[in-house]
Amino acid sequence: MEKKEAPRATPGKREPGGIAGKQARTGDCGEAAEDFISRLPDAVLCTIISLLPTKDGGRTQALSRRWRRLWRSAPLNLEVLTRPPDDPIPTHSVTPSAVSDIISRHHGPARRFYFHCLRDDEVYAQAETWFLSRALANLQELDASYGNLPLLPSALRAAPTLLVAKISHCDLPGEIVPDFPLLKQLTLLYVSISADGFHTLLSSCHALESLCMSQVRAAGCLRVSSPTLRSIGFRDNHSEETELVIEDAPRLVRLLLPYCYQDDCVTIRVIWAPKLEIMGPFAAFVSKRKSPVSSANSMHTVKVLALRSSGDKLHAVLNILRWFPCLEKLYVTFHKRYEMGAKDEPQYDPRHPIECLQTHLKNVVFKLYWGNGKQVDFARFFVLNAEVLNKIEFEVHGDYSSESVAFQHRLLHVKNRASRDAQFEFRSMRVRNKYLGDEHIHDLSVADPFRQP
């Protein structure tokens, strides 16, 4: 067979090479091999840049001339952090020395400004000029921590455009509070404010939907009146007695207490919250002297309740359930720290039945369930007395074999359950670093903030 020679290149004629050559040889059109990101509109690319950490957003300038122009006009996401000399700055943050240069070179608006400052008078003074700059005039998100220094009045210059604000470790003078017409999320951590200043602050937030308070130091009680609030998260002051009064909150749905462990220092009074459906978790502590939560009337609107209790606090839990006649779902997290102080707790009187056990309670979840001693007695009460129960879930340590489940069924007297439709599920608990419900103080998209996926 005759062997064919490969065609020779024509002198003076270049063969297609590189990307263009590949397109010519394969028949691909040039449009198919383009950089798809570069084909996006400028507005979309600017949004992407504004969501990147400060340093990463600045690095996009090296991609091309177009990206250099985009970074300068994209909404700025600026994160500034001061640390001790031997503590490195995280890669996503910049040092205070770089801020002035970034602000001067960036001609666009700022979307987010994160400023956490240790007690440094020089940086504190510099921050005044940053907040007064044109770049930070129309912020949407502010996260400012001052190392227990007074809040700079200029920090609230962007109040008319703020959507999210987090103020921590500072003194909040009530007389400098401006209007916040668009603010939807407000977080106050380790701040000092007067009771009147707190009332003025809430009155200035005309669109506020969620409020998170942790270690707020205020003289007198904190009174909440807001026509727009839907979610409140509250943490106690540990050693200081604190009173939170929900005076007028017509749209409030959630009252979350994920950090309140010193319940004897916290009193929560609900005066008017006609749509309140979700509460807790607070400790099952009820004495003849006081209780952590009180209301002028029974809370008929509450459908989901979370409590913390030890296995020997059944009577306290049952007395709390009297306040919630329409309760549909109950979470109980067992913890040994609540085993003390039960001497003056009122005892449950079976001659006065609990309404929710007879007509509404359909789901019970026991967390940190070890399946022994008082915990079994505690759970057995609900097995034998919840008349419309659909399901009890036990979050246990490790995996339960079929033999372990059968043994628990015998201890709980499942055959004698009050609701013949009740099901029982034992599942391994998930190790979590977050407290029950705290991540959903501002996230209103989740129907049940205590439910773990």
Residue 25 has pLDDT above 50, yes or no: no
- β-partners of residue 167 are 144, 188
Domain positions in the chain: 40-74, 303-337+350-452
User: What Cα–Cα distance (Å) separates residue 277 from each residue in 103, 185, 300, 329, 365?
Assistant: 45, 20, 9, 11, 17
- Say how far apart CA 165 and CA 156 lie, in whole Å: 10
Residue 9 has pLDDT above 80, yes or no: no
Residue 406 has pLDDT above 90, yes or no: yes
End-to-end CA distance of the chain: 71
- Say how far apart CA 73 and CA 109 lie, in whole Å: 7
Residue 292 has pLDDT above 60, yes or no: no
Residue 135 φ/ψ, nearest 5 degrees: -65, -35
> How confident is the model over 205-230, as a mean pLDDT?
91
Residue 29 has pLDDT above 60, yes or no: no
Among the ranges given (80-84, 194-198, 371-375), the one the predictor scored with the smallest mean pLDDT: 80-84
> How confident is the model over 6-22, as a mean pLDDT?
46
Name the residue among 424, 350, 358, 366 with its Cα closest to residue 386: 358
DSSP designation for 32:
G
Contact present, 379 and 394 (Cβ < 8 Å): yes
DSSP designation for 421:
T
Contact present, 294 and 267 (Cβ < 8 Å): yes
CA atoms within 13 A on the CB side of 63: 17
Instruction: Give me the helices (H) in 352-443, please.
Output: 355-359, 373-385, 402-412
**What percent of the chain clears pLDDT 70, i.e. is strictly above it?**
73
* pLDDT at residue 287, as a whole number: 45
Per the rule left: phi > 0, alpha: psi between -120 and 50, beta: everything else, 356 is alpha
CA atoms within 13 A on the CB side of 136: 26
Residue 409 has pLDDT above 80, yes or no: yes
* pLDDT at residue 55, as a whole number: 63
Residue 434 has pLDDT above 90, yes or no: no
* pLDDT at residue 433, as a whole number: 42
Q: Give 293-345 pLDDT, tens digit per residue.
A: 656 556 899 999 999 887 778 888 998 898 999 999 999 998 765 454 555 56
H or E element at residue 54: helix 54-59
Tokens 């009460």 found at: 381
Q: Regarding beta strands 363-369 and 329-334, do their DSSP bridges make them parallel or antiparallel, or are they unpaired?
A: parallel
Name the residue among 146, 136, 88 with its Cα closest to residue 112: 136
Per the rule left: phi > 0, alpha: psi between -120 and 50, beta: everything else, 169 is left
* pLDDT at residue 27, as a whole number: 43
How does DSSP assign 219-276, residue by residue? Answer: SS-EEEE-SS--EEEEE-BTTB-EEEEEEE-TT--EEE-TT---GGGEEEEES--TT-
Q: What is the pTM of this model?
A: 0.80
